[in-house]
C-alpha cells in the first residue's frame, strides 16, 4: 500500500497557497486582509460540509418507504445534529472577524469591489435544498444577479428538486398512528379550545388553518404552506407524545430542524450586526443595501417556521387525551 503523507492527503500546498490579498497585488498591504480571506474560505469549506450532510439526509428521505425501525432515521438525526454543531461554529467565527476594526477593514475594502458575500452560491444552494422558496426570499430581484451563469443554473436546479422540508412533509403524512387512534384529534381539539384564555381565542383560526378543520381552505394560504394539514397533525402528535420510545427519534428530527433554523437565524443576526459595526449604513461592496438587506433576510428567512408554530397549539401533559392500551403498546419498544 502506498504511504500517505499528511500534506499530500490534505493538499496543503493548494490550501495554504490559496490566499492572495488584493492589497498586496496593488502594493498597498493591509494586514487584516489575510484574516478576512481565511475566515471566508473557512466559511465556504463548512458550507460544503453542511451541504454534504444535508444531501445525504435528502437521499435517505427520498426513498419510497423509509423504514423507521431501521438505523436510517437515527442516521438522519445524527447528521442533522452535526450540521447544527457546525452552524454554531460559524456563529463563533464572527468573534474572530470582529477583532478587525472598521478602520482595519477600510484599508482594503474598496479593493474588493464588486466581490461580496452575497455571491456565496453555496449558501444560497443550501437554503434552497432545505426548503427556502424563491417567493419567500427577501430581495428576490437581486439574489441571483451577482452570480455567474453556471452558479445560477445550479441553484435553479436545486430549487426545481424536492426540498428537505417537502420530503419531511411526505414522511409525516405516512405516519400511521393517526388512523390507529380514531377520534384522537377531535378530542385534542376540544381540550385545546378549553385551554385558551379569552385573549387567546384568535388562536382558534390559526389552529383551524394549520390542521385543516375549516370548511374551505384559502388557496393562497395552501400554496404558501410547507406542511399539509395531515403532516401538521402527525407532527403535533409526535410533539405531544414524544415520551413514548417509538416517537423519540421522530421528535429529535423535528427538534433538530428547529435548531437549524435557530442557528441560521443567529448567524444572520450576528452577520447583520457585524456589517453595521463595520460599515454603518453604507452600501455593500456587491451593491446590496448592506445592513438593511441583511435585516430583511433575518426577518423573513425562516425555513421550518410551520414546525415552530406547532408550539402555539400545545397543552399541558396532564390534559392530554389518554391513549388506549393498544396504542401505548404500539408506541413502546415492542410495538412495531
Three-state secondary structure along the chain?
A: CCCCCHHHHHCHHHHHCCCCCHHHHCCCCCCCHHHHHHHHHHHHHHHHHHHHHHHHHHHHHCCCCCCCCCCHHHHHHHHHHHHHHHHHHHHHHHHHHCCCCHHHHHCCHHHHCCCCHHHCHHHHHHHHHHCCCHHHCCCCCCCCCCCCHHHHHHHHHHHHCCCHHHHHHHHHHCCCHHHHCCCHHHHHHHHHHHHCCHHHCCHHHHHHHHHCCCCCCCHHHHHHCCCCHHHHHHHHHHHHCCCCHHHHHHHHHHHHHHHHHHHHHHHHHHHHHHHHHHHCCCCCCCCCCCHHHHHHHHHHCCCCHHHHHHHHHCCCHHHCCCCCHHHHHHCCCCCC
CA distance 72 to 63: 11
Lowest mean pLDDT among 20-29, 106-115, 288-297, 314-323: 288-297
pLDDT tier at 118 (50, 70, 90 boundaries)? confident
Count CB atoms within 10 A of the CB of residue 113: 12
Gyration radius of the chain's alpha carbons: 24
**Domains of the chain by residue range:** 33-214+223-330
Q: Answer for the pair 275, 290: CB distance below 8 angstroms, yes or no.
A: yes
Which residues sit in the known binding site for substrate? 36-40, 109, 285
d(CA 171, CA 234): 10
Looking at the domain 33-214+223-330, which fold is it? Methane Monooxygenase Hydroxylase; Chain G, domain 1 (1.20.58)
Whether pLDDT at 334 is above 90: no
Mean pLDDT of 311-322: 94
pLDDT average, residue stretch 64-69: 70
Residue 287 has pLDDT above 70, yes or no: no
Least confident of 42-56, 87-101, 174-188: 174-188
The answer on pLDDT for 291 being more than 90 is no
- Binding residues for heme are 271
Banded pLDDT at 211 (limits 50, 70, 90):
very high
Mean pLDDT of 86-110: 94
Nearest C-alpha neighbor of 274 from the set 293, 291, 299: 291
More reliable by pLDDT, 261 or 299: 261
Binding residue positions: 36-40, 109, 271, 285
Angle (CA) 234-86-82 rounded to 5° is 45
Average pLDDT in the chain: 89
Kindly report the backbone phi and psi dihedral angles of residue 289, in degrees, each rounded to the nearest multiple of 5, phi listed first: -80, 15
Q: Which residue has the higher pLDDT, 288 or 260?
A: 260
Quick one: pLDDT at residue 281? 66
Q: Which residue is it, cell 492527503?
A: 9
Q: Give the residue carrying C-alpha cell 481565511.
A: 38
Locate 97 and state its grid cell.
472577524
Q: Which pLDDT score, from 0 to 100, does residue 290 have? A: 63
Q: Which three cell numbers stand for residue 308?
A: 415552530
Query: Could you tell me what percent of the chain has a pLDDT over 70?
Result: 90
Query: Is the confidence at residue 216, as pLDDT, over 70?
Result: no
Of 272 and 224, the structure prediction assigns the larger pLDDT to 272
Q: Tell me the C-alpha to C-alpha distance, in Å, between residue 189 and each of 212, 233, 302, 314.
A: 12, 11, 27, 10
Quick check: 293 and 138 in contact, CB under 8 A? yes
Closest CA to 35 of 96, 87, 110: 96
53 in Cβ contact with 82 (< 8 Å): yes
Amino acid at each position: 500500500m502506498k504511504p500517505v503523507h499528511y500534506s499530500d492527503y490534505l493538499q496543503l500546498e493548494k490550501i495554504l497557497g490559496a490566499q492572495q490579498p488584493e492589497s498586496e497585488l496593488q502594493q498597498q498591504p493591509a494586514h487584516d486582509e489575510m484574516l478576512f480571506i481565511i475566515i471566508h474560505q473557512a466559511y465556504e469549506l463548512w458550507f460544503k460540509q453542511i451541504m454534504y450532510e444535508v444531501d445525504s439526509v435528502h437521499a435517505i428521505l427520498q426513498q419510497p418507504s423509509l423504514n423507521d425501525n431501521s438505523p436510517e432515521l437515527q442516521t438522519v438525526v445524527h447528521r442533522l445534529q452535526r450540521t447544527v454543531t457546525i452552524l454554531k461554529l460559524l456563529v463563533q467565527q464572527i468573534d474572530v472577524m470582529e477583532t478587525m476594526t472598521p478602520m482595519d477593514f477600510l484599508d482594503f475594502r474598496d479593493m474588493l469591489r464588486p466581490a461580496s458575500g452575497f455571491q456565496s452560491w453555496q449558501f444560497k444552494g443550501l437554503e434552497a435544498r432545505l426548503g427556502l422558496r424563491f417567493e419567500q426570499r427577501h430581495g428576490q430581484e437581486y439574489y441571483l444577479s451577482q452570480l455567474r451563469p453556471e452558479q445560477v443554473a445550479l441553484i435553479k436546479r436545486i430549487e426545481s428538486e424536492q426540498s428537505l422540508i417537502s420530503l419531511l412533509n411526505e414522511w409525516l403524512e405516512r405516519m400511521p398512528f393517526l388512523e390507529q387512534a380514531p377520534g384522537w384529534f377531535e378530542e385534542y381539539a376540544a381540550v385545546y379550545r378549553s385551554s385558551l384564555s379569552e385573549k387567546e381565542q384568535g388562536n382558534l383560526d390559526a389552529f383551524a388553518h394549520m390542521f385543516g378543520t375549516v370548511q374551505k381552505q384559502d388557496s393562497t394560504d395552501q400554496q404558501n404552506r410547507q406542511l399539509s394539514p395531515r403532516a401538521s397533525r402527525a407532527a403535533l402528535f409526535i410533539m405531544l407524545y414524544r415520551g413514548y420510545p417509538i416517537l423519540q427519534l421522530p421528535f429529535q428530527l423535528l427538534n433538530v430542524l428547529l435548531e437549524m433554523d435557530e442557528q441560521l437565524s443567529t448567524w444572520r443576526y450576528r452577520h447583520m450586526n457585524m456589517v453595521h459595526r463595520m460599515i454603518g449604513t453604507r452600501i455593500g461592496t456587491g451593491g446590496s443595501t448592506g445592513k438593511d438587506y441583511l435585516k430583511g433576510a433575518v426577518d423573513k428567512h425562516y425555513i421550518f417556521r410551520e414546525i415552530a408554530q406547532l408550539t402555539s397549539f400545545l397543552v399541558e401533559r396532564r390534559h392530554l387525551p389518554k391513549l388506549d392500551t393498544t396504542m401505548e403498546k404500539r408506541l413502546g419498544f415492542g410495538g412495531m
